[in-house]
Structure 1
Amino acid sequence: MKKLLQKAIPKMYGFYFNILHLFSKEKSADLALRVFSVPRKGNILPHQKSFLSTARTQKIAFEDGLFMLYHWKGNGPTVLLNHGWESNSFRWKYLIEPLQELDYNIISIDAPAHGGSDGTLFTAVKYSRIIKDTIELYQPKIVIAHSVGAMATIFQESQKPHPFIEKFVFLGSPNRLEVIMRGYQELTSFNNSVYESLNKSLKAKFGYHIEEFNAANFAKKIKVPALIVHNPDDLIVPFQAMEEIAAAMPFATTYTSQTGGHSLYTQEVIDRVIEFLKEA
């Protein structure tokens, strides 16, 4: 019964978007974007609190609330960690501990509407503005980002590059927003008229049509060494995304992980990331 409801509820949303579109294209598009932008999970769970409490925490103001920042102090270079969709800073535990052993100064943030940050809505563009604020506050030499966090980071650095950043690591990054939005359309079964209205709405709100928002387009402006990691068995983001982004990024190195799926939590990935950070 539970599985049946999980499949039926998205279709009910799509049916409602289609009906509403007959009366108001704008309201239908706005509602479709709102539903798409609300994470279903990513709150801090009880078992995550203990580890996160080992960091110094700070809440920083942004446009519609406060976002949570965690700081594990070290004497080495500063590393900024940006998680992905429906996650929070706990997802970096597997990498934070090896970085601490090497005495890196570690900063991690919770995205809008995730973890300890305020808000109910998330977009990659909104996240990119929080990433920008954090970069300018802590001036990291290294930025490591996962999934949509990687897409948001690449977008941000295309808008305002920070010359003090020396290396990037992008894990399981999506490339084309169109792939994500077509997946959303398939899940909910809203029609192409709603899709086109949603496309126009995104252009008006963020300055890009869906088909224009591609990480590979933005990656051209990242001109420092970057490691891009992906797994061929990633069920969330197509493996092709790594190849497309890397082809556009002037100093990119790719690594095909044989483990980790989309999350890329494994020792194999940790070892490659640490190796990359140690490279001259």
Structure 2
Amino acid sequence: MKKLKYFILTKSIGLYINSLSYIRPKKASHLAYRLFSEPRIGKLTKEKLPLALQDAKTETFYFNDNQFESYFWQGNENVILLIHGWESNASRWEKLLPYLKKTGSTIVAIDAPAHGLSAGKEFNVPTYAAFIDVAVQKFQPNFLIGHSIGGAACVYYQHKYQNNNLKKMVLLGAPSDLKTLITNYVALLSLNNKMVQLLENHFLQKFKFKFDDFSGQIFGKSLTIEGLIAHDIDDTIVAFDEGKKIASSWKNATFIETKGLGHSMHDDELYQKITSFLVGAKR
């Protein structure tokens, strides 16, 4: 019954947007973009922080009119910056944190735009990358770990900002192509071709790029640091081929295929491989 209600709701919204595209195209494109870019879950409150974040020092940063939150665990000179994905927050690293702490490293995690304790309602990768850059300038990380769209943001960040101090990057279940995400969104709402063009025009005006141009596979060509890309063949959120696309163009990246982990990628063996890749395993 829930699936039926969800199906009817999404198709009804799509029908409304399609109809609106003929009479008020600008409003239609803004509505379609808003539904695409506003997370429904993932927010936190300071009064009810998840247990994984309660022992961290917190600091609020600002980028233009945006406010975002960081979490900090002091360690040695090795600094690891954690970048979570869509409709999540910094607490998603709860199961990986013990492995990273065993290495003695300093660990930093941030909440994405419109997630966790960070302000705003809109999420997009360019703004997320700008958040990452602010955190990088403050904490000077050697390593980045990104999950899902957070992984895509890491790739775009390094492509755009070319951080020479960054040594290694880990991507978990990361999508490559914006076009793929848009195609899935269009199919979910059954948007018509006119609406798709309006949406692309909106992206072009707002971000100065077309759907086909925003691709981890393209950005990967400019990456020279070492990389570790892990993707699960049973991932039903981000297709396995998306991870392979990024790996195909990133010359210094190693690809790990997993099975049975789904999109979360929580796994003791994988986490041991990640810590060994970054700073060497310590018991």
TM-score (norm 2): 0.94
1:143 aligns with 2:144: yes
1:240 aligns with 2:245: no
CA distance in 2, matches of 1:125, 1:10: 27
Query: Could you say which residue in structure 2 is the equivalent of 1:263?
Result: 264
How far has the Cα of 1:125 moved from its partner? 1.4
CA distance in 2, matches of 1:170, 1:39: 21
SS of alignment partner, residue 42 of structure 1: coil
Deviation per residue, 1:118-176 (Å, 9 max, x gap): 01111111111111111121110000001101111111111111111000001111011
SS of alignment partner, residue 255 of structure 2: strand
CA distance in 2, matches of 1:257, 1:76: 31
Give 1:171's aligned amino acid: L
Deviation per residue, 1:71-106 (Å, 9 max, x gap): 011124000000000100111011111111221100
Task: Within 5 Å, give how 1:7-156 maps onto structure 2.
Answer: 7-44=7-44, 49-156=50-157
Query: Could you say which residue in structure 2 is the equivalent of 1:188?
Result: 189
Does the 8 Å contact 1:259/1:268 carry over to 2? no
Tell me the C-alpha RMSD between the 2 structures: 1.7
Question: What 5-or-longer segments of structure 2 have no aligned partner?
Answer: none
Give the stretch that moved more between structures: 146-155 or 37-46: 37-46
Does the 8 Å contact 1:259/1:266 carry over to 2? no
CA distance in 2, matches of 1:243, 1:279: 25
How far has the Cα of 1:279 moved from its partner? 5.2
SS of alignment partner, residue 94 of structure 1: coil
Give 1:14's aligned amino acid: G
How far has the Cα of 1:5 moved from its partner? 2.5
CA distance in 2, matches of 1:137, 1:220: 27
SS of alignment partner, residue 208 of structure 1: coil
Give 2:115's aligned amino acid: H
How far has the Cα of 1:236 moved from its partner? 1.0
Query: Could you say which residue in structure 2 is the equivalent of 1:5?
Result: 5
CA distance in 2, matches of 1:168, 1:243: 16
Does the 8 Å contact 1:72/1:107 carry over to 2? yes
Deviation per residue, 1:156-198 (Å, 9 max, x gap): 1111111110000011110111111111011111111100110
Give 1:26's aligned amino acid: K
How far has the Cα of 1:231 moved from its partner? 0.6
SS of alignment partner, residue 272 of structure 1: helix
Does the 8 Å contact 1:64/1:119 carry over to 2? no
CA distance in 2, matches of 1:185, 1:198: 10
Question: What 5-or-longer segments of structure 1 have no aligned partner?
Answer: none
CA distance in 2, matches of 1:50, 1:276: 27
How far has the Cα of 1:278 moved from its partner? 3.2
Query: Could you say which residue in structure 1 is the equivalent of 2:232?
Result: 231
Give 2:114's aligned amino acid: A
TM-score (norm 1): 0.95
SS of alignment partner, residue 82 of structure 2: strand
Aligned residues with identical type, % of pairs: 34
SS of alignment partner, residue 22 of structure 1: helix
CA distance in 1, matches of 2:51, 2:235: 29
SS of alignment partner, residue 96 of structure 2: helix
CA distance in 2, matches of 1:186, 1:151: 22
Give 2:30's aligned amino acid: D
Aligned length: 280
How far has the Cα of 1:47 moved from its partner? 7.5
Does the 8 Å contact 2:103/2:275 carry over to 1? no
Give 1:158's aligned amino acid: H
Does the 8 Å contact 1:11/1:187 carry over to 2? yes
